[in-house]
Structure 1
């Protein structure tokens, strides 16, 4: 009996497999080849270990304000010490940045100059705030480029103060080491997985000292991956993803959060061109972050984000800044 005829073999891979391999090649090229240009970066700038900060135990505004003032003074001392160490090391730019951060009137809840630097700065009156925004930054944010990050926090606080009718504060949270753009770390969730429990703990502390305040996470670019990883069990009332490459989740339900989830992207943001897929690379590691959060299928509430670029969401007077402030205030954004 003759064997059944086999279908002819083809030398062309299925279209999905070809696209998968092409995407993998592109991502690996970006992750490996692009950073070569920056391979000769200066070594880490040393900094002294920070002194353990005393706990914030008060919740009554005047008592909390006294504790916060003491905390801010301690962190200014730590910043000045780090600036002296950086100067001695020859890192004059880092030293100048740290001296600016240590000026009177600046208010840091936390600072650690080691491993690239960590910090959390308060813009506004946290002791009496009824609406609190926590800014979670994306790639390339660090102590040497901190001014731009802080400028966004100041612009947001100014907008909130003019429009919300409530006491507000913005917390610029540089609580993890953001990856460099184009690096392997910027295309994989490793840094976000490390940062997520730190962000969740930070929000819990904010909620503990200001239990009646509404807390919103504003998550830019790679910061949206951090927020997605921290979403389950977070004490935040809302999570806003903007300029996002994806979250590593297919839809909102996978975030397992009680918080309202918003998403927006400016029409001029280059991140729209990033492929929204996840490609396994090594066991337990993948490249890419999956579904676009502004895709209706993701299930987030969407807001208008104007026509600016990837770094323009907190630009003074801009559409996205106005709508982000409205979300923080618990209001509906315009043009949603």
Structure 2
């Protein structure tokens, strides 16, 4: 391109037989990556300025979550969500007010809530205190309190499938975890690990908390969508006690192989046949001293994950009721790994 950016591809530069890929292919990948960066650099200031920050109270002061304090924790966060709803309404943000008001409903089980800014929340489905199989959904870009209804739908779909398929005596639970500020899809932050690096310690802390609440024998699975794959990969390296790690619709994980995750968890990966993420360049490159891109495709043989079938769905279809991907994700969570259909 003649721009002198000094981009060096670290992954995807060789063919399946080990020979170096044609220079044209590497250049094409570099052009795609730079185009994404330039688009993000233009869009971010405009989109970031389009909406004022939503006022909300500080998060509720709650006791340490244990089996005996869960009800108190849930009630405190519901009250905080109700207060956030009133503040958003007074501010004129009726959409956020409605989202907060829904989360404050008497049947909602909030393990965490922070209505400030784009918002953070963790919602529990099932009896967490007595759960033996726990799935944590880790979302990707553009997930906020304003889109919580959509994210919640994935959790309820998974919980419904788990309760249907769980063997007698098993007690599954699902957590919809929005514990970090997700990047925008079209932005520079969606191309680096910065947000994931910030999120990973929080996710690792949550997993340790789950083993306190449900007991050390509970089996925890991380189901990680899109950019959430990068978050999960960072958290898994902290070895927080995860039995299974599933990447779906992943742009890469920031490492070049499952072995580099340094986790004892089983590592799974899948991509739907109509998922646009397949067109993303699976490379890592240095640009002005910053690493952009996330490396090897997790569904490629080089990565070394257990690749399972996800059907013909698109990027947002992995939790569609009745889908192949949802059935396989439920089997992974329930430990029925021999029944997982492979791609």
Normalising by structure 1, we get a TM-score of 0.90
CA contact (8 A) 2:268 2:307 kept: yes
**Paired positions, count:** 316
> What are the equivalent positions in structure 2 for 1:225-244 lying under 5 Å apart?
225-232=230-237, 233-244=239-250
- Partner residue in 2 for 1:273: 279
> Which runs of no fewer than 5 residues in structure 1 stay unpaired?
1-12, 58-63
Bigger relative contact order (CA 8 A; separation at least 6): 2
3-state SS of 1:298 partner? coil
- Partner residue in 2 for 1:208: 212
**Please, what is the CA RMSD of the aligned residues?**
1.6
Pick one of 46, 53, 68 that aligns with 2:55. 46
- Partner residue in 1 for 2:166: 164
3-state SS of 1:263 partner? strand
1:121: Cα distance to partner? Answer: 0.5
Partner deviation per Cα, 1:182-238 (whole Å, 9 max, x = no partner): 111111110000000000001011012221111000000000000011111121111
1:31: Cα distance to partner? Answer: 2.0
1:258: Cα distance to partner? Answer: 1.0
Pick one of 63, 78, 81 that aligns with 1:79. 81
3-state SS of 1:261 partner? strand
3-state SS of 1:111 partner? strand
3-state SS of 2:223 partner? strand
Pick one of 305, 311, 319 that aligns with 1:300. 305
3-state SS of 2:62 partner? coil
Between the aligned partners of 1:292 and 1:23, the Cα distance in structure 2 is 16
- Partner residue in 2 for 1:61: none
CA contact (8 A) 2:29 2:281 kept: no
Between the aligned partners of 2:213 and 2:157, the Cα distance in structure 1 is 25
CA contact (8 A) 2:57 2:116 kept: yes
> Which runs of no fewer than 5 residues in structure 2 stay unpaired?
1-21
1:17: Cα distance to partner? Answer: 6.3
Between the aligned partners of 1:270 and 1:34, the Cα distance in structure 2 is 20
- Partner residue in 2 for 1:55: 64
1:54: Cα distance to partner? Answer: 0.3
CA contact (8 A) 2:95 2:146 kept: yes
1:29: Cα distance to partner? Answer: 2.3
- Partner residue in 1 for 2:6: none
- Partner residue in 2 for 1:325: 330
- Partner residue in 2 for 1:155: 157
CA contact (8 A) 2:43 2:187 kept: yes
Partner deviation per Cα, 1:86-128 (whole Å, 9 max, x = no partner): 1111111000011011111110011111232111100111111
Q: Of the two, which has the highest radius of gyration?
A: 1
Normalising by structure 2, we get a TM-score of 0.88
CA contact (8 A) 1:266 1:309 kept: yes
- Partner residue in 2 for 1:130: 132
Partner deviation per Cα, 1:110-157 (whole Å, 9 max, x = no partner): 111123211110011111111000000000111001001001101101
1:286: Cα distance to partner? Answer: 1.5
- Partner residue in 2 for 1:258: 264
3-state SS of 1:33 partner? helix
